[in-house]
């Protein structure tokens, strides 16, 4: 069930919040866990068992880590990491591994028949998010940064917490440990939560879904022309940002509605002036997760410059792979890893260091945009097709043909970039408490709801990861 | 643990500092917007429940919704075998045009109207052969527009063999605009010489911009969420949706109490006379085409097919708003035929014949109700009319 659907907005959310408010404090986590499983089961009931199994396994490992003898603790941590990653690998990368294995085996054979069966499993929605959350729990407990969960119900509520279950932000256990045990529900939390939710909904429904219309111009198949490629790529950059950050805002807002404080996931990423800066602003919960649980354990920047570059590169490569089993995600990760390492190597000697701010802004956005082309493409063929068209070498003779470009995109693309570059983000907007903000938000709320009720639903992009 | 959420803590502190009355007012404002929308939605649903074609729900705008809601098949059930998506035989590869067309006396090319019809003898070309007694070859391809189909024929070199033939080029009324004809205008020189396909240039951007208003008008419906928000008005304004087959925006009117699908591009086409479509450029392009074919020893007949909307628009319910400034029914085709005739080009406007057929309905209605194309009766009337004027 997506947030921007009639069922969620008109039935699920009011019912869940209403019952939650009526229940005494000690039942609230249980109710949240139950509602979250209902939320997940709405999509596929049988995969609730998977979620439950992952929860139970990591709860058990966490308990052993917290209470076990010193030498056994590490073994339990390893078991937890291996188990969780194995689950992720099977569902997310199993198909790819099976294909590779088959290709490898077929090298030694002459006939074309497939030896390894096609592994065709349905990817559980949000598995990348909740596996990483479960991992953060056992690692935090092992490191002593968090205490073991008080009860299984608390832990199940944490893993399945529906506001952020399927598309993040990745909330680490240490970040909500306090709120899980005890939280207050003042009207300031409700108000702030409602504002976050409304702004996020408006971003998703009014902005992201509108920009989605321009994306097929470049990625809808066929050979895009020059303008098609630019419209499609810019539209996708905006769609992805408004979609994912809108979802994150809605998650933060819903979390506040239930008394939880979630971390910030986006900080105006398209205002960044370097790729390094970009990763301090884009999908913060993932980049900080990768930093704390991957980059630093790998040695971070403490083992000499070469090792630092290699670490940066490999972390970004894995970050790309996290999005899915596809060479295009790997390419996207490698692209960002390359620039991160290069910027680190250049340091103060970076040529843009002394250039005006807009130079950094523009060049960074161009690099990010090229990354998104790979990210969005279904294969190398499409990726190169769009890239060639972007640089004016498209294979279609009518480079400036506008027939594939929806007129809405032409009007709204500049507007979208104005919003990205010059307006405050949700976290800055909600700091403004002047009455006219209320009018603006009520209007956004009305328009977004109207759009939900009358317009076709576009699924959240990050559900697929 | 508040230090783990420094930004959120700051925001919460700011909200906590707000006077309780203001806090409640703010929450109530957001809740009010919420409730208002839900009430509006409820009212809209009630209205739509009593609409003209009883739509089961108000969510109009998803591709295919319109027909699905009205419970209609894509064609009227009188389907041509082989015309359903999936059943249609694959288009012949380019080279296959040659052997059969070399024997043909008449070559028909043009929009999808000329490509459909099921078996070859049921298609327009087949019916033309039947009524005229000539050998007719069908070079129209489904999915290719009139210009693409024509250019394919010109580029193929089929016509350059010196054998005299008549080339029938059929164009649907809504395709007569400089935007649609741009590719043709670009490819023909003043003396009718066929220019090589030109790589694009910055100049085209300007051309695109000058044509943008007509284009926006034709395409605004259908793809914008703004249109979707107007869906609750469905009982009063014919709903808009994308035709599932061609993905073209369409509207659903009623004709004699039965639903009738009309392309929005055909509606906006009815507002533009020859002048508004860049008439001089169109006539000039046809003249160049005629010169090109004359140099190859071929004869050109330009056929204009009226849109279904043009034929039925005075009989649709609700009445298409007259504020839109429609030109007189049938006047566009007549005017174009007259202008082309002045330039020495043989042209045929099918409006009178098809309009008469829509009134008499001998052998069935000339157009499908749930599709933009002509039905068997329409093909027959058109082919018979053209056969009478063949030299």
Asked if A431 is an interface residue toward chain B (Cβ–Cβ < 8 A), one would say: yes
d(CA B350, CA A422): 57
Q: How many A/B residue pairs have CB atoms within 8 Å?
A: 148
| pLDDT one-digit tens code per residue, B203-253 | 454 444 444 433 443 343 333 333 444 444 433 444 455 444 444 566 777
Residue B271 and residue B136 in contact, taking contact as beta carbons nearer than 8 Å: no
Using an 8 Å CB-CB cutoff, list chain B residues near A147.
Answer: none
d(CA A411, CA A413): 6
| pLDDT one-digit tens code per residue, B309-342 | 999 988 887 777 655 578 888 999 999 999 999 9
**Residue contact B59–A454, C-beta within 8 A:** yes
Q: Label residue A30 by pLDDT band (50, 70, 90).
A: very high
Nearest CB to B16: which of A186, A195, A439?
A186
Indicate which residue of A323, A336, A350, A365 is catalytic. A323
pLDDT of residue B252: 73
Given a cut of 80, whether residue A414 has pLDDT beyond it is yes
Mean of pLDDT values over A363-388: 90
**Residue contact B8–A252, C-beta within 8 A:** yes
pLDDT of residue B85: 44
pLDDT of residue A331: 93
| pLDDT one-digit tens code per residue, A40-84 | 888 777 888 889 999 999 999 999 898 888 888 889 999 999 999
Mean of pLDDT values over A312-336: 90
Residue B211 and residue B178 in contact, taking contact as beta carbons nearer than 8 Å: yes
pLDDT of residue B198: 59
DSSP string, A68-79: S-HHHHHHHHHH
> What mean pLDDT value characterizes chain A?
85
What is the arrangement of strands in the sheet containing B258-263, beginning at the earlier edge strand?
Answer: B240-242, B249-255, B258-263
pLDDT of residue B46: 52
Write the CA distances from A350 to A336, A338, A344, A363, integer angstroms: 16, 15, 9, 13
| pLDDT one-digit tens code per residue, A211-259 | 888 888 888 767 788 888 888 999 999 999 999 999 999 999 999 999 8
pLDDT of residue A182: 86
pLDDT of residue B10: 86
Q: How many CA atoms lie within 13 A of B176 on its CB side?
A: 33
Given a cut of 60, whether residue B360 has pLDDT beyond it is yes
Nearest CB to A408: which of B61, B204, B223?
B223
Asked if A457 is an interface residue toward chain B (Cβ–Cβ < 8 A), one would say: no
> What mean pLDDT value characterizes chain B?
73
d(CA B5, CA B7): 6
pLDDT of residue A397: 57
ipTM of the complex: 0.79
pLDDT of residue A109: 67
pTM, rounded to two decimals: 0.61
Distance separating the N- and C-terminal Cα atoms of chain A:
16
Write the CA distances from B34 to A39, A41, A428, B29, B37, integer angstroms: 22, 27, 24, 9, 5
3-state secondary structure of A231: helix
d(CA A217, CA A400): 12
Which residues neighbour B321 within 8 Å (Cβ) at sequence distance 6 or greater?
none
Residue scoring higher pLDDT (B356 or B111): B356
Given a cut of 50, whether residue B61 has pLDDT beyond it is no
Nearest one of A371, A408, A365 to A386, comparing CA atoms: A371
Mean of pLDDT values over A320-324: 87
Please identify among residues 159-178 of chain A the ones whose CB lies closer than 8 Å to any CB of chain B: 174-175, 177-178
Nearest one of B204, B201, B142 to B179, comparing CA atoms: B204
Tokens of A259: 């008394």
d(CA B118, CA B300): 26
Which residues neighbour A381 within 8 Å (Cβ) at sequence distance 6 or greater?
none
d(CA B67, CA B371): 10
Given a cut of 50, whether residue B48 has pLDDT beyond it is no
Query: Chain A: nearest CA to B302, how far in angstroms?
Result: 25
Please give the share of chain A, as a percent, with pLDDT higher than 70: 92
Catalytic: A283? no
If DSSP states are collapsed to H, E and C, what string results for chain B? CHHHCHHHHHHHHHHHCCCHHHHHHHHHHHHHHHHHHHHHHHHHHHHHHCCCCCCCCCCCCCCCHHHHHHCCCCCCCCCCCCCCCCCCCCCCCHHHHHHHHHHCCEEEEECHHHHCCCCHHHCHHHHHHHHHCCCEEECCCCCCCHHHHHHHHHHHCHHHHCCCCEEEEEEEHHHCCCCCCHHHHHHECCCCCECCCCCCCCHHHHHHHHCHHHHHHHHHHHHCHHHHHCHHHCCCCCCEEECCCCCCEEEEEEECCEEEEEEHHHHHHCCCCCHHHCHHHHHHHHHHHHHHHHHCCCEEEEEEECCHHHHHHHHCECCCCHHHCCCCCCHHHHHHHHHHHHCCCEEEECHHHHHHHHHHCCCCCCECCCCCCECHHHHHHHHHHHHHHCC
pLDDT of residue B357: 94
| pLDDT one-digit tens code per residue, B168-196 | 999 999 889 887 888 888 888 888 888 87
**Residue contact B225–A206, C-beta within 8 A:** yes
pLDDT of residue B322: 56
Nearest CB to B200: which of A174, A262, A397?
A397
pLDDT of residue A459: 53
Residue A383 and residue A377 in contact, taking contact as beta carbons nearer than 8 Å: yes
DSSP secondary structure code for residue A464 in this structure = G
pLDDT of residue B217: 38
3-state secondary structure of A279: coil
Tokens of A394: 């498209």
Using an 8 Å CB-CB cutoff, list chain A residues near B24.
Answer: 187
Is the bond into B318 cis (omega within 30 degrees of 0)? yes
Please identify among residues 402-421 of chain A the ones whose CB lies closer than 8 Å to any CB of chain B: 402, 406-408
Nearest CB to B34: which of A209, A431, A445?
A445
Residue scoring higher pLDDT (B68 or A315): A315
**Given the structure tokens 């085409």, which residue do they identify?**
B289
Q: Is A60 exposed, middle or buried (0-12, 13-18, 19+ CB in 10 A)?
A: middle
């Amino acid at each position: 069930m997506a947030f921007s659907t009639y069922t969620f907005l008109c039935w699920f959310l009011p019912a869940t919040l209403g019952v939650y408010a009526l229940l005494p404090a000690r039942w609230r986590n249980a109710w949240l866990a139950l509602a979250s499983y209902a939320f997940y089961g709405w999509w596929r009931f049988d995969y609730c068992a998977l979620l439950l199994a992952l929860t139970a396994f990591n709860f058990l490992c966490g308990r052993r880590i917290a209470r076990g003898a010193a030498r056994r603790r590490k073994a339990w941590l390893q078991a937890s990491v291996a188990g969780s990653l194995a689950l992720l690998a099977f569902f997310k990368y199993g198909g790819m591994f099976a294909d590779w294995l088959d290709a490898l085996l077929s090298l030694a054979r002459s006939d074309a028949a497939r030896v390894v069966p096609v592994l065709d499993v349905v990817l559980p929605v949000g598995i990348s998010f909740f596996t990483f959350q479960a991992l953060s729990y056992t690692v935090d407990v092992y490191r002593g940064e968090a205490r073991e969960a008080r009860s299984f119900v608390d832990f199940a509520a944490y893993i399945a917490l529906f506001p952020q279950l399927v598309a993040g932000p990745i909330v680490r256990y240490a970040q909500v440990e306090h709120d899980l045990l005890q939280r207050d529900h003042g009207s300031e939390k409700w108000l702030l939560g409602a504002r976050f939710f409304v702004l996020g909904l408006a971003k998703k429904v009014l902005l992201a879904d509108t920009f989605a219309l321009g994306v097929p111009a470049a990625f809808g198949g066929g050979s895009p022309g020059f303008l098609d490629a630019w419209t499609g790529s810019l539209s996708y950059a905006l769609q992805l940002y408004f979609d994912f950050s809108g979802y994150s805002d809605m998650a933060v807002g819903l979390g506040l509605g239930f008394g939880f404080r979630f971390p910030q996931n986006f900080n105006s990423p398209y205002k960044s002036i370097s790729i390094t800066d970009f990763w301090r602003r884009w999908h913060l919960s993932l980049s900080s997760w990768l930093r704390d649980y991957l980059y630093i354990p790998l040695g971070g920047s403490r083992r000499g410059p070469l090792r630092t570059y290699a670490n940066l590169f490999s972390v970004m490569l894995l970050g790309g792979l996290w999005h899915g089993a596809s060479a295009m995600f790997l390419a996207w990760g490698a692209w960002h890893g390359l620039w991160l390492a290069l910027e680190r190597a250049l340091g103060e000697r970076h040529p843009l260091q002394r250039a005006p701010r807009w130079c950094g802004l523009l060049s960074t956005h161009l690099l990010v945009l090229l990354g998104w082309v790979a990210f969005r493409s279904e294969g190398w063929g499409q990726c190169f097709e769009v890239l060639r068209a972007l640089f004016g070498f498209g294979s279609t003779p009518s480079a400036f043909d506008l027939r594939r470009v929806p007129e809405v995109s032409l009007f709204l693309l500049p507007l979208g970039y104005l919003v990205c570059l010059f307006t405050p983000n949700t976290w800055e907007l909600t700091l403004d408490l002047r009455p006219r903000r209320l009018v603006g938000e009520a209007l956004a709320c009305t328009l977004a709801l109207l759009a939900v009720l009358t317009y076709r639903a576009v699924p959240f992009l990050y559900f697929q990861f | 643990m508040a230090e783990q959420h420094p930004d959120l803590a700051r925001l919460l502190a700011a909200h906590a500092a707000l006077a309780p009355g203001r806090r409640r007012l703010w929450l109530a404002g957001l809740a009010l917007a919420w409730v208002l929308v839900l009430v509006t939605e409820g009212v809209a649903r009630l209205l739509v429940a009593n609409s003209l074609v009883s739509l089961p729900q108000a969510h109009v705008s998803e591709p295919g919704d319109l027909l699905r809601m009205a419970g209609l098949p894509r064609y009227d059930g009188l389907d041509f075998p082989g015309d359903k998506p999936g059943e249609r035989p694959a288009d012949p590869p380019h080279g296959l045009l040659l052997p059969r067309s070399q024997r043909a006396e008449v070559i028909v090319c043009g929009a999808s109207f000329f490509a459909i019809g099921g078996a070859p003898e049921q298609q327009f070309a087949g019916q033309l052969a039947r009524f005229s007694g000539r050998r007719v070859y069908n070079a129209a391809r489904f999915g290719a527009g009139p210009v693409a189909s024509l250019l394919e024929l010109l580029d193929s070199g089929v016509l350059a063999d010196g054998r005299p033939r008549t080339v029938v080029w059929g164009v649907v009324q809504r395709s007569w605009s400089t935007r649609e004809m741009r590719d043709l205008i670009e490819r023909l020189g003043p003396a009718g010489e066929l220019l090589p396909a030109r790589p694009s240039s910055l100049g085209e951007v300007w051309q695109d911009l000058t044509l943008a208003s007509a284009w926006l008008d034709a395409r605004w419906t259908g793809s914008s969420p703004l249109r979707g928000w107007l869906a609750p008005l469905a009982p009063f304004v014919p709903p808009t949706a994308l035709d599932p087959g061609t993905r073209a925006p369409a509207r659903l009117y009623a004709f004699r109490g039965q639903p009738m699908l009309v392309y929005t591009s055909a509606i906006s086409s009815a507002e533009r006379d020859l002048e508004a479509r860049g008439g001089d450029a169109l006539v000039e392009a046809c003249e160049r085409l005629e010169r090109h074919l004359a140099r190859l020893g071929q004869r050109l007949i330009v056929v204009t097919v009226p849109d279904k909307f043009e034929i039925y628009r005075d009989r649709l319910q609700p009445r298409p708003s007259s504020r839109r400034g429609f030109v007189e029914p049938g006047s566009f085709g007549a005017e174009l035929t007259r202008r082309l005739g002045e330039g020495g080009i043989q042209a045929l406007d099918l409006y009178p014949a098809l309009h008469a057929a829509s009134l008499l309905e001998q052998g069935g209605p000339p157009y499908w109700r749930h599709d933009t194309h002509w039905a068997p009766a329409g093909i027959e009337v058109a082919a018979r009319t053209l056969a009478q004027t063949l030299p």
